[in-house]
Structure 1
């Protein structure tokens, strides 16, 4: 039988090729677990549908009257980006009404409708389809209903419907309701008197719920988490995300702790043209174990007043010393002893950089004596500038004025200024840079010790010579070409001795000895001490570079300082340092391929012929969804020796194992460990983790044990939860 073809607009027929409009998932792994909901190609036009002609193809067609036509047998209606297929179609020309029966398939570029019968106005995108299913391939979502109502291009209503993101014939979970609205303008679905079903079994009812129709932010419940620990008992976390406005949102998290009570956590984020910030509060009324209210408040605010001026505010306050130990969720958090409060005003422009700061600390550990607590800076002014370079001569100025205050302690104001001039000579084969600076510091002390002058002044010249050579040569290993570099460097520093024992310590400490410390002009941080020096640092750096890609495959650095006199300046008037040489330090970084990365740093004490500090790490990352991390650290002065092993690795396409072990070799105990499994299907994900941790690494207390469970229904709950946070903090480069 010949096909009946009837163009229903201008005689200029439009010929077009079907275009595939399906898009891949944003998460490639999730996409690989799903089957395509619709594999039929959808026609795509570059002109508006309202201007496109209507074309009807069918096995048979007849005119009922001048405005109405009847088509039978494999009917196909084409109009711009719309297609409709059916067994029988009654078409009314003036209002573009289509009444169709049998094997209905109606398609637009981003969804497909299937049903028994349809009454649709293809001009206004309005109509009804009975016994219908709808597929959204871009979102991998589908719905079914007794009746699906189209209300224009962007609104779809379901009567006695269901919604899920699972594959066809997979009912792992679904949301059913007598009324469901899909608003594609806001990318939000809304269900009234809804029931959540797991494997067709009703498990949860709510009179109202909304859910996302895209990856855009929207209000709704996030992934719930369940856990248990010996100290707090069963734990249930149910966060709710509130998308207040495009630039404001909040996460409200009820956290139930069986042995303590109900804690409420709230995090508010905001963003404006000039400002951004996060405000959070955690509140646990009448902790059953602590017998008092517990709370934590945090605020971080950043603002820009102009191109030159900006400001920031940082505030934190905890109700008690044990808050982080009892209610924190990681080893690093439970070790917190001080909370910083700070207000900054900054300028950066042609005149230099200025910082005005007020800084205070809350010491949450009451056992820390007053003399060991940090000083307040009320206020602190920092200014630095650099003059334009003239004939390779660089001039810089750094200055500070600060007022230190602490209860029952010496207080002071400190003025510190350091002008510097240097000249750098650079060639392709090396460089040479002499530098001279003068550091003047003045202290005005209050409540100082008897016999100590309240006015302390220190003025010291600081001179240095820095120079290095560059050597390189080409190498061939097999079929690969490399460049081998060799860079020796000498750094001479001279600072005369000045007795500084009468100056108290306000904010100064001894810098860690690292490779960078070889080339610094002070062994101390802060302005209370300037180290005396007559020393020469020798360093050698060598690297191997792939000649084709330019990637650095390995870099090795070695260095040591030779002292020509004792270092008499110390922090608290201790004995002078008399060693003729510093520790020998070595550093290596290697990236032999995109999968492997290694680094390490090692210090050797030549006098005692002993290793004093070692750090090493190895990372294997063959693919984004898997990785193994190994690290080791040993510091003799801190009696510290630890190993850290972590991994995330797929066992099968759907199962993945995660784990971490942070172990103290010095104390022969586990500091933190966890192990877990994740199962992920096309439309849901379940995670289970068992965790052990200690609150104080130096105490012999028993470790805490916690069990965490997290369930995510994709497309109904958003990504997040305490397990995700634990894995991101505990496993280097963890990626879902």
Structure 2
């Protein structure tokens, strides 16, 4: 009986061949958890021919199970050497070694093969012209090999695969590709590869990447991981060219400090800006995690200024009821994201950077305590200092609700203390108390909710203007009652349609609040959720007086088999019996009578098509104040024949009118086009245009794109040419047009 570990060792050696390109391709090697690599489309990978035909399927079995031998003929000479001839098969644990001839020395426990042999497992197939193996030392060599890796749709060759006694292996003259048998479009080659399983690392000597037989990348020596552990080393660089940056090259260096701590240091060279140093440090503890990102450019060649960026994020669960969250961000100047892009913060339409620390306690009973300090950095130069947000140093908030109802009635309290400060502005302390009683009743066909509360707010102000009170107070009661009905019917095609009318009455008496500063109050956009809000202002400093009724009518269409919502539609309006008098500084009262109609629609027309809309109609002016429409098409985006189409229209009266078209479609076999055109109808100019072309085979793809877009609030345009080469199963180099398209929203479920 042969020892099973011998064949396990062969499997490990060949698995390392698979690990080499995967390790080199890891563009997210700094992940503390398992790296989520962007896998190529499975349907687009090459089909590798089997190394031998008409072989029976592998039989699963335990890895350390017995070894079975079969042959047409077996002979034994006087030295104890067995010769197995004709359809020799050695099988163990889902692995198989087959040949037409094999010599087995029982005394020395060695195997000698001088004929063509094939080793098979789920992970790989390897064909060799000769092989020697010592079962005592579990070492040996396979000569003149060809291999395929079915899980990665890859193939390759090696002159010698040598397994050594002490957990190491040497491979000479290896070539690796994911191209099909009839194509050598690209190869990864090395004269020598050394694998150390105890260390979990491998090394390659004289490694080169060949495209069409032409060497394009050479490394005399590099190390790479061969297991699932993280290892210190170089990650693949990224290269680009833009009008703003010029030639842009980044080389990430990954440092595996500890099992729960890592760091990625990224020097970045920009021909028009200089050399920037970036660093991303991350940690993962038992009850917390965090990261620290830094970018530093000593002297910008265009501005002659020092440019820096910092972001720190920490989230921890101190105990099951106490949590701490910290977020700090800072940039050296307002134009940083316009010039260098939001590589770590989503910089689109960004006006402030948040700096806050929040401590949250969730009590066993029904109350929560939050303690927060918060500051902002304004990075929009169009915002005046008087309009910048206030700092909260601190905010303390309590929310409590009785755990059990008494005849459907519950009592609660909202309490908040804030200290607000801002340079050259009114500073002050604010205490807000809001006790309430709530009566709730919910049935299958109807529901009602009524609430009465009294809100007391007291201020202690400094830096007030002469004649203005420094300690204003306000007490405002509010009563609301809300109810709704739920109707259902079965339509002619068997779908379930609901009809849900909803009505709310709200009353808040007028209280003069002109002496109260607006630390955190604002007026949000009018939408469906605002129909049933108990205060049309956000924050606490303005409590709107109200004597109004809100009505909404909603309908849903549900698939009877899956329960999937195919359509959701809502329309509503508020009718004010008296004109509100409480306003924000610089704003006028909206007046009494009916407000605008607001409506939303989400409709999944089919498995591929969906439409959505938001309309705000002013009946008095007989025109729209807001209108948003979107039609989206999605078809199997993960395949080579996938399609995407977005048609979007946005309108806000007197502010903007824009159209946005996004498309990604296959042209003919191997070719795909993608593009985006965002156009301002109001200004009669293009805001963002992108055109891209892709050619894809089963083992490589080339994508080119051009983009011209508004880069900052002053209207400056930037141009970029992007090229991405993807070697499937290995890496992607450059920036593809997919990453330049807006977020690929899926169809609503």
TM surpasses 0.5: yes
Is the alpha carbon distance of 1:545 and 1:185 closer, same or farther for their aligned partners in structure 2, counting shifts above 3 Å? farther
> Mapping of 1:423-502 within 5 angstroms?
423-476=439-492, 480-502=493-515
Q: Is the 8 A contact 2:48 2:155 kept in 1?
A: no
Aligned-partner Cα distance in 2 for 1:645–1:72: 68
Q: Is the 8 A contact 1:224 1:711 kept in 2?
A: no
Is the alpha carbon distance of 1:366 and 1:109 closer, same or farther for their aligned partners in structure 2, counting shifts above 3 Å? closer
Structure 2 match to 1:594: 607
Q: Is the 8 A contact 1:224 1:710 kept in 2?
A: no
The question of 1:530 aligning with 2:543 is answered: yes
Structure 2 match to 1:191: 204
- Provide Cα deviations, 1:513-567, integer angstroms capped at 9, x if missing partner: 1011110110100111000000001111122222222222212211111101111
> Mapping of 1:125-136 within 5 angstroms?
125-136=138-149
SS in 2 for 1:518: helix
Aligned-partner Cα distance in 2 for 1:721–1:390: 64
Aligned-partner Cα distance in 2 for 1:357–1:181: 55
> Mapping of 1:112-261 within 5 angstroms?
112-121=125-134, 125-151=138-164, 156-182=169-195, 189-211=202-224, 224-242=237-255, 244-261=257-274
The question of 1:364 aligning with 2:379 is answered: yes
1:417, distance to aligned residue in structure 2 (A): 1.6
Aligned-partner Cα distance in 2 for 1:41–1:420: 76
Q: How many residues align?
A: 706
SS in 2 for 1:324: helix
> Mapping of 1:250-399 within 5 angstroms?
250-328=263-341, 333=347, 335-351=349-365, 352-365=367-380, 368-388=383-403, 389-399=405-415
- The answer for unaligned runs of 5 or more in structure 2 is 4-14, 19-36
1:665 paired residue among 671, 674, 681: 681
1:153, distance to aligned residue in structure 2 (A): 11
1:631 paired residue among 637, 645, 648: 648
- Provide Cα deviations, 1:135-156, integer angstroms capped at 9, x if missing partner: 3222333342221112479854
1:327, distance to aligned residue in structure 2 (A): 1.4
SS in 2 for 1:190: strand
Q: Is the 8 A contact 1:339 1:363 kept in 2?
A: yes
SS in 2 for 1:524: coil
Q: Is the 8 A contact 1:335 1:695 kept in 2?
A: no
Aligned-partner Cα distance in 1 for 2:280–2:215: 32
The question of 1:709 aligning with 2:719 is answered: no
Q: Larger deviation: 174-183 or 460-469?
A: 174-183
Structure 2 match to 1:421: 437
Q: Is the 8 A contact 2:45 2:728 kept in 1?
A: no
SS in 1 for 2:402: strand
SS in 2 for 1:409: coil
Structure 1 match to 2:589: 576
Aligned-partner Cα distance in 2 for 1:681–1:218: 32
Is the alpha carbon distance of 1:212 and 1:602 closer, same or farther for their aligned partners in structure 2, counting shifts above 3 Å? farther
SS in 1 for 2:41: helix
Aligned-partner Cα distance in 2 for 1:275–1:101: 59
Aligned-partner Cα distance in 2 for 1:714–1:545: 42
1:376, distance to aligned residue in structure 2 (A): 0.7
- The answer for unaligned runs of 5 or more in structure 1 is 1-6, 10-20
- Provide Cα deviations, 1:107-150, integer angstroms capped at 9, x if missing partner: 34422221221101357653101112233222333342221112
Is the alpha carbon distance of 1:482 and 1:52 closer, same or farther for their aligned partners in structure 2, counting shifts above 3 Å? same
Aligned-partner Cα distance in 1 for 2:249–2:746: 27
Is the alpha carbon distance of 1:393 and 1:328 closer, same or farther for their aligned partners in structure 2, counting shifts above 3 Å? same
Is the alpha carbon distance of 1:636 and 1:153 closer, same or farther for their aligned partners in structure 2, counting shifts above 3 Å? farther
1:246, distance to aligned residue in structure 2 (A): 4.7
Aligned-partner Cα distance in 1 for 2:95–2:135: 8
Structure 2 match to 1:650: 666
Q: Is the 8 A contact 1:602 1:611 kept in 2?
A: yes
SS in 2 for 1:336: coil
Q: Is the 8 A contact 1:55 1:79 kept in 2?
A: no
Q: Is the 8 A contact 1:211 1:715 kept in 2?
A: no
1:216, distance to aligned residue in structure 2 (A): 7.6
1:38, distance to aligned residue in structure 2 (A): 3.5
Q: Is the 8 A contact 1:211 1:716 kept in 2?
A: no
Q: Larger deviation: 175-184 or 622-631?
A: 175-184
Structure 2 match to 1:99: 112
Q: Larger deviation: 595-604 or 329-338?
A: 329-338
- For the aligned residue pairs, the C-alpha RMSD in angstroms reads 3.0
Is the alpha carbon distance of 1:610 and 1:692 closer, same or farther for their aligned partners in structure 2, counting shifts above 3 Å? same
1:340, distance to aligned residue in structure 2 (A): 1.4
Q: Larger deviation: 462-471 or 210-219?
A: 210-219
- Provide Cα deviations, 1:660-693, integer angstroms capped at 9, x if missing partner: 2222111112222222123343443333221111
Q: Is the 8 A contact 1:38 1:137 kept in 2?
A: no
Aligned-partner Cα distance in 1 for 2:661–2:167: 51
Q: Which has the higher strand share?
A: 1
Q: Is the 8 A contact 2:662 2:741 kept in 1?
A: no
TM-score, structure 2 normalization: 0.87
SS in 2 for 1:43: coil
Aligned-partner Cα distance in 2 for 1:186–1:595: 50
> Mapping of 1:74-113 within 5 angstroms?
74-113=87-126
Q: Is the 8 A contact 2:444 2:486 kept in 1?
A: yes
Aligned-partner Cα distance in 2 for 1:597–1:671: 25
Aligned-partner Cα distance in 2 for 1:469–1:411: 47
> Mapping of 1:602-617 within 5 angstroms?
602-617=615-630
1:46 paired residue among 58, 61, 69: 61
SS in 1 for 2:702: strand
Q: Is the 8 A contact 2:617 2:626 kept in 1?
A: yes
TM-score, structure 1 normalization: 0.89
Is the alpha carbon distance of 1:421 and 1:372 closer, same or farther for their aligned partners in structure 2, counting shifts above 3 Å? same
Aligned-partner Cα distance in 1 for 2:407–2:276: 65
Is the alpha carbon distance of 1:63 and 1:309 closer, same or farther for their aligned partners in structure 2, counting shifts above 3 Å? same
Is the alpha carbon distance of 1:83 and 1:26 closer, same or farther for their aligned partners in structure 2, counting shifts above 3 Å? farther
1:90, distance to aligned residue in structure 2 (A): 1.5
Aligned-partner Cα distance in 1 for 2:423–2:371: 23
1:195, distance to aligned residue in structure 2 (A): 2.1
1:95, distance to aligned residue in structure 2 (A): 4.3
Aligned-partner Cα distance in 1 for 2:672–2:233: 27
- Provide Cα deviations, 1:401-429, integer angstroms capped at 9, x if missing partner: 11001111100111112122111122232
1:471, distance to aligned residue in structure 2 (A): 1.6
1:277, distance to aligned residue in structure 2 (A): 1.9
